[in-house]
Amino acid sequence: MNLESEESEEYGQLESILTDSPKADNARKGLLVLEVQHRILNFLVEHCKGIVYDKKLDRDPLMLEPIHPELPGPTVKEGEWSLAVDVARESPYAAPRVVDLQRHITDTRRRPHPDFSNPGRKKFFWDRTIVSAIDEVYENIAEWGITNRLIDELIELHKTQPMGRYTTQEFDIEYLQSICKMQILLDYRLIELCQRELGFVFPSSPALRSMFERSSSGLRLRDDLDKKDELLWLVRELMKKDTDCPKNVVAAELSRLVQTDKNYKARISPMAARFIADLGLSYELRAQSRMLCPSLFSGPAPLSGEQVDTSQTWVGEQLRGLHELKMCTSVSHSGDKFLRLGESGDPARLPYPINKKRTKEHVETMQKTERQLDLL
C-alpha cells in the first residue's frame, strides 16, 4: 500500500509485490484485514439504510467541502505571541489551541499507548519527557557555548603567532593546547554525539519512517529503496562504520542538500535538520582547526602525553556541569534525587505553582525556580 505519496488519489493505493519479497507475508495479512473491513462496512451500511430509509441517500452533497468564513485578521505582527483576543476571535472557526501537553498527547490517540494508560508506565514516560525538555536543551547550549569561547581564544592566540612559520616546534605551547582542546571537544563530544543521535532522530521523521526496518543490530534502511535517492544514500554512508567516502565530506554534502533544497528539507523533522546542521558545522570546525596544525590530527604529535592529558582534563571540567545536570534530570542516573516538576514535583526545593491562579506572587515564584534551573 502506498503510504508515502502526498496526493490523495495515490495515497492508500495497493501496489504489486513479488511473491518472494520479504514483505509478502505482511501484504497477505493486510489484504485479509481490508477484506474483513470491507464486509463489515457493507454490513453497517445496509443496516443504516434500513434505519434512515426516509432520508435522501445522495452521496454527492456529502462529498462537498464546506465553505468556511474567512478568519479575522490578527491584532499582532507575525512572530509575536498571540493575544487572548485573537484566540477568542478565531475560536468559532479554528480548532481549540492546545494548552495542556498531557491532554494533547492522550487525545491524539484513539487507543492510548500503555505509557499513558498504565499509571506505572505513565510516570516513566514523563520522567523521560523531563530529560528531553531540560537536559538536551541545556546540553546543546552548554556545548556550543564552550565551543564559542574556545574559538575566541584560538583567534586571539593565532594573532600572536608570527606568519610564515611552518614547523610546529616554533608555535607556542598554549596555542597548540588550544587546538588540541578543540580537537578533543569535536572528536569525542560534538561529532560523536551528533552522529550517534542522528541515527535515532533521522528515522523518526514522519516521511521516512516506512523506509527503515528493524534488524538484530538496530534500525537499518530497507534494501528495496530507490538507490538514486541522494538523501538516503548520504545518510546510509554516514551511518556506516567503514566507508570509502570521508565522513566530513558526507556530512557537509548532507547539510548543503537539506539547507538548499526545500524538497529534501520537507522530508525530515526539524530536530533531524538541527542535528544535520550541527554535524556539518562540527566537521567544518575540525577541518579549519586541522589547517592550523595538521600534525595534531595525524602524524607525530607536537605535544607531550602530559600536555595532551591536561587538554583532556580541561574539556572534562568544562563538561562536568552537564553530568551534574543529568544526575538531577535523569531518573536512571539520579534515583531518589530525581528532580520532579509540576504536580509531582518537589515544592520544597523547586516550587512551581503552574496549576494555580496566575498572580504576581506565583509568577515570581516560577521565575525564581527557572533561574535556579539555569544555575544547575
Q: What is the pLDDT of residues 291-338, one digit of tens each?
A: 888 888 876 667 888 888 888 899 988 888 887 777 767 666 666 666
Total length of the chain: 376
∠356-364-85 over CA atoms, to 5°? 60
- Mean pLDDT, rounded, for 369-373: 77
What is the pTM for the complete model shown? Answer: 0.57
Read off the C-alpha cell for 232.
538516503
Q: Is the pLDDT of residue 39 over 70?
A: yes
What stretch of H or E contains 146?
helix 136-159
What pLDDT is attached to residue 108?
Answer: 55
Average the pLDDT over each of 203-217, 292-306, 320-334, 352-366 and give the range with the smallest value: 320-334
Q: Please spell the DSSP secondary structure of 200-265, one letter per residue.
A: HHGGGSGGGGGGEEEETTEEEE-TTS-TT-HHHHHHHHHH-SS-SS-HHHHHHHHHHHHHH-HHHH
Q: Is the pLDDT of residue 98 over 50?
A: no
Cβ atoms 241, 247 nearer than 8 A: no
- Mean pLDDT, rounded, for 107-136: 69
Average the pLDDT over each of 89-103, 166-180, 255-269, 276-290 and give the range with the smallest value: 89-103
Nearest alpha carbon to residue 144 among 29, 40, 278:
278
Cβ atoms 71, 93 nearer than 8 A: yes
What pLDDT is attached to residue 146?
Answer: 92
pLDDT band per the 50, 70, 90 thresholds, residue 64? low
Query: Which backbone phi and psi does 215 adopt, to 5 degrees?
Result: -140, 180
What pLDDT is attached to residue 147?
Answer: 93
Average pLDDT, the chain: 76
What pLDDT is attached to residue 94?
Answer: 46
Cα–Cα dist 312/80, whole Å: 44
| Top mean-pLDDT range of 170-174, 272-276, 334-338, 366-370 | 272-276
Average the pLDDT over each of 158-172, 239-253, 356-370 and give the range with the smallest value: 158-172
Q: Is the pLDDT of residue 359 over 50?
A: yes
What pLDDT is attached to residue 92?
Answer: 47
Cα–Cα dist 191/214, whole Å: 25
